[in-house]
């Protein structure tokens, strides 16, 4: 049937299409300096923020606020694993509100970010800020505000 052929063609070609799009995963992970600058900017923008980390494509910590980097890596991986397992589908964003604080996590552009805020932080703003930070990091023209362009392998 024609429909089947079209669906097959779409399935076959789709990855290629997405590889050419701007939202595809970055070719090289951003440098730790860039990630640290993005995190600093995020902390300035979000008064409710207690701590956050930006993770690379392999789940490695590119930058984190105070706290043990290994713990950030392990606990962020555990959060994403639990979230993916909930319905067997990879999640895009996570928002968990507890009595002790709120946790936000997001995947974008092949990178991931997790943040912990005080209770009643505005979820839409927090997720928007996290997504913006990851998009900026993945952008080839990324430069921290007032800083210089810096990507791993391009320095």
* Residues in touch with another protein (CB under 8 A): 43, 47, 49-52, 65-68, 71-72, 75-76, 78-79, 81-83, 85-87, 89, 91-101, 103, 114, 116, 118-120
- Concatenated DSSP letters of 113-141: EEEEE-TT--HHHHHHHHHHHHHHHHSTT
CB of 118 to another protein, least distance (A): 7
Cβ 113 vs Cβ 25: under 8 Å: no
For another protein, which is the closer residue by CB, 57 or 101?
A: 101
CB of 149 to another protein, least distance (A): 28
- CB neighbour burial string for 112-137, b if at least 16 within 10 angstroms, e if fewer: bbbbbbeeebeeeebbebbbebbbbb
For another protein, which is the closer residue by CB, 25 or 86?
A: 86
For another protein, which is the closer residue by CB, 32 or 75?
A: 75
For another protein, which is the closer residue by CB, 65 or 150?
A: 65
Cβ 98 vs Cβ 121: under 8 Å: no
């Amino acid at each position: 049937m024609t429909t089947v052929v079209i669906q097959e063609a779409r399935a076959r070609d789709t990855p290629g299409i997405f590889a050419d799009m701007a939202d595809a995963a970055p070719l090289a992970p951003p440098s730790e300096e860039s990630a640290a600058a993005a995190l600093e900017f995020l902390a300035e923008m979000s008064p409710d923020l207690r701590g956050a980390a930006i993770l690379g494509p392999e789940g490695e910590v590119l930058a984190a606020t105070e706290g043990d980097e290994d713990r950030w890596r392990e606990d962020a991986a555990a959060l994403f694993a639990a979230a993916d397992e909930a319905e067997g589908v990879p999640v895009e964003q996570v928002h968990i509100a507890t009595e002790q604080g709120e946790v936000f996590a997001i995947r974008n552009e092949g990178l991931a970010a997790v943040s912990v805020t005080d209770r009643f932080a505005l979820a839409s703003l927090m997720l928007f800020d996290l997504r913006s930070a990851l998009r900026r990091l993945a952008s080839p023209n990324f430069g921290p505000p007032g800083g210089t362009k810096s990507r791993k392998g391009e320095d």
